[in-house]
Structure 1
Amino acid sequence: MNTGVKITAFAAALAATFGTAYGVGKGVGPVGGGPAEGGHGEHAEAQPSRTPEKGHAGHEEGATADTSATAALPGGLQISQDGYTLALETPTPAAGKSVLKFSIKDAAGKKVTAFTTEHGKELHFIVASRDLGTFRHLHPVKAADGTWTTPVDLPAAGGYKAFADFKPAAPGAKGVTLGADLSVPGAYAPKPLPAVAPTATVDGYQVRLGGTLDPGKAGELRLTVTRGGKPVDDLEPYLGAYGHLVALRAGDLAYLHVHPNEGGPGPDVSFTATAPSAGTYRLFLDFQHEGKVRTASFTVTTGGAKTSVPATGEATHDAGDHAHG
């Protein structure tokens, strides 16, 4: 098994942002686990790149520190950044199945129509509930005028946040992750984060999370996929890699989005991450096997610069909580 681990970071950083390295391989560290919940459609994706993809917040390698105030923030905390704005045309969708429409506007207020393809997509779009119980990784379709459209199933009333992760094709443009609030009308009862469990279980697969997550210090997170007690060593490419990770900080939903680089195809998928602060984080790992994408989700709590990671969650399979569009 390959152990390639590659370091990436939000373009701002030091201890105030996620500095993330990633790879696929067999790692060593304390082991903990969490939930997997998923109702996923089938995905056909290109073979993974063996060359690192330079990207945007959460993807770019060797990012140069930016002294601006916005650069010191993790991704997804702002609706406007670097001259671009996430404009939601449907900010109050109904509970259940609906359609979301949005666009990315430039500083002149015009809809952006040209984007750089990264990890198989021109734009990555995530919707998560404020209590982090619902996670949607969607694949919107862009119209000629720059309007993006995607179906979505939001199971309950409450607050949600949409994230657009993209890099405009304009000369000199940098990657950016924008975040905007969604509100689903109706009675709302937030749920607590899932309880501690050693593994995440979804569709008969078990995913074990091990490693450390420390504020201000890089540590390896290793996710191992098995089924029926046997390692799954033939994971399939999804978005150009053998695993796809989104991390959201509980409380403000600061966003981190990374991919493994070289190695694979399983059973281990490893990431090296630095938390921007002590606290609680929700991790969502997408992996593809036998033509279907599944999501394993974990709650990870840090406590200090040298604290090992406990991971928490429920082992359930519920299409109402985790899905792909």
Structure 2
Amino acid sequence: MSKRSRTPRRLLMAATTTSVLTLALAACGSGTGSGHSSAMPGMDHGNRPSSTAPADAMASMPGMDTAATGNGLAAARDGYRMTSGTTGLPAGRSADYRFTVTGPDGRPVTDFTVDQTKRMHFYAVRTDLTGFQHLHPTMAQDGTWTAPLAALRPGTWRLYTSFTPATGSGEGKDFVLSRTVKVSGMPMPTALPKASGTTTVDGYTIAVKGDLTAGTAGRLTATVTENGKPVTDLQPYLDTYAHLTAFHQGDLSFAHLHPETKVNGDHGGPTLTFHAEFAQPGNWRLFLQFQTAGKLHTAALTLHVN
């Protein structure tokens, strides 16, 4: 090969290398600035590393490009970060999970807006979408929150915190941040039940209806019956007759469905209406919580979104 023929090839190789490097730097820059994260194990891209960042950073890539849309898969967003020194929890017994929410200035946030009677909502779900828990942690004066988790099964769990800052740059903005934690022991995965419009819990039957399309707002209804008869004595729970949370089977994206049914004393039911919007198609695991006679019930079913 002559010297003249080798020169264009070298220039082409150099241009290709430069293009690849430019794309890589652009991807890294966008992930750091917007709090993008991976889906399942919880990649943690933020402005400052936290105590569990190395474990979170070894996550898989699916879902990374959707973290900034509010699906709860990032530990950081818009300068706000969920930090925790806890990377593992024991199996088979209750345990406290402590965490802090820091603001863009790196300091713990202590001023939150009350949403559905609480300043902080906390959710725990295993990666196979079993073992759902919805808690309301307490905050110490230094901004450390403590969530008293009931006994957990072995495996990887994703822990979500939902809040609205009352001051600062994020004032009035709803945030859902999350981290993962390992629970000791040998995990025994449970297959997700097939999509179904009905489920039962504590003697109550819940029928869910709604023709939903990903990325489009729609309406979903849940009807509660007992022994075939309509239930009309639902009590308010968190300022509503039912609290509905959903998680995507593919990457554990978070969705909170907002109730539209107005509260009228202890006379809720049988049909409840929710404003529903799911970011992506596929199976979603729904957890519907409602209260009767002072007892909280949690019903679970799988919903398919087109």
Q: TM-score range by the shorter chain?
A: 0.7 to 0.9
Instruction: Determine the structure 2 residue equivalent to 1:162.
Output: 159
Instruction: Quote how far apart the aligned CAs of 1:90 are.
Output: 2.3
How far did residue 220 of structure 1 move?
Answer: 2.2
The equivalent residue for 2:135 is 138
75, 84, 94: which is aligned to 1:79?
75
Q: Deviations over 1:193-240 (max 9, x none)?
A: 013555211111111111212123333221111112211112111111
1:227 counterpart = 2:220 = no
Aligned to 2:189: 190
Q: Can you list the C-alpha shifts for 1:145-175, whole angstroms capped at 9, x where unaligned?
A: 1111122124311010011100111145222
Q: Distance in 2 between matches of 1:113 and 1:74?
A: 22
Aligned residue pair count: 235
Task: Return closer, same or farther for 1:258/1:272 CA change in 2, 3 Å cut-off.
Answer: closer
Question: For residue 300 of structure 1, what is the aligned residue in structure 2?
Answer: 303
CA contact (8 A) 1:243 1:259 kept: no
Q: Which amino acid aligns with 1:177?
A: V
Q: Answer yes or no: is 1:280 the counterpart of 2:279.
A: no
Q: Following TM superposition, where does structure 1 have runs of at least 4 consecutive aligned residues deviating by more than 6 angstroms? A: none
Alignment partner of 1:271 out of 274, 278, 293? 274
Partner Cα distance (1:164, 1:232) in 2: 32
Amino acid at match of 2:146: T
Counterparts of 2:261 and 2:222, CA distance in 1: 15
Change beyond 3 A, Cα 1:231–1:77: same
- Taking the aligned partners of 1:108 and 1:196, their CA distance within structure 2 comes to 44
Deviations 1:2-36 (A, max 9, x none): xxxxxxxxxxxxxxxxxxxxxxxxxxxxxxxxxxx
Distance 1:142 1:72 in 2: 26
Q: Which has the higher helix share?
A: 2
Q: Output the TM-score relative to the length of structure 1.
A: 0.68
User: What is aligned with 2:84?
Assistant: 88
In terms of fraction of residues, the more strand-rich structure is 1
How far has the Cα of 1:263 moved from its partner?
2.5
Query: In the alignment, is the contact (CA less than 8 A) between 2:197 and 2:303 conserved in 1?
Result: no
Q: Is the 8 A contact 1:89 1:100 kept in 2?
A: no
Structure 2 counterparts to residues 113-152 of structure 1, below 5 A: 113-152=110-149
Following the alignment from structure 1 to structure 2, what is the Cα–Cα distance between the partners of residues 198 and 113?
Answer: 41
Max radius of gyration: which structure? 2
Higher relative contact order (Cα pairs below 8 Å, separated by 6+ residues): 1
**What amino acid is aligned across from residue 229 of structure 2 in structure 1?**
K
> What amino acid sits opposite 1:87 in the alignment?
T
Corresponding residue number in structure 1 for 2:177 = 178
2:22 equivalent in structure 1: none
Question: Taking structure 1 as reference, are residues 262 and 225 closer, same or farther at Cα in structure 2, changes over 3 Å only?
Answer: closer
Q: Residue type of the partner of 1:258?
A: L
Alignment of 1:38-117 (within 5 A): 73-96=69-92, 97-117=94-114
What is the root-mean-square deviation of aligned Cα atoms in Å?
1.9
Looking at structure 2, the residues matched to 198 and 252 of structure 1 have their Cα atoms a distance apart, in angstroms, of: 22
AA matched with 1:191:
T
Cα distance per residue 1:28-80 (max 9 Å; x no partner): xxxxxxxxxxxxxxxxxxxxxxxxxxxxxxxxxxxxxxxxx878523211100
Flag the 1:290–1:201 CA change in 2: closer, same or farther, 3 A.
same
* Cα distance in structure 2, aligned partners of 1:198 and 1:253: 21
Contact 1:114 1:168 in 2 (8 A): yes
Identity %: 40
CA distance in 2, matches of 1:212, 1:147: 41
TM-score where L is the length of structure 2: 0.72
CA distance in 1, matches of 2:67, 2:129: 25
Q: Distance in 1 between matches of 2:204 and 2:219?
A: 22
Rounded to whole Å, the distance in 2 between the matches of 1:142 and 1:79 is 19
Mapped partners of 1:273, 1:197: distance in 2? 17
Once residues 164 and 197 of structure 1 are traced to their aligned partners in structure 2, the CA distance between those partners, rounded to angstroms, is: 28
Question: What amino acid is the match of 1:109?
Answer: G
Gaps of 5+ in 2: 1-64
Matched residue SS, 2:111: coil
| Deviates further, 217-226 or 127-136 | 217-226
Whether the aligned pair in 2 keeps the contact of 1:237 and 1:243 (CA below 8 Å) is yes
User: Could you tell me how far apart the structure 2 residues matched to 1:70 and 1:157 are?
Assistant: 28
Partner-residue secondary structure (3-state), 1:248: strand
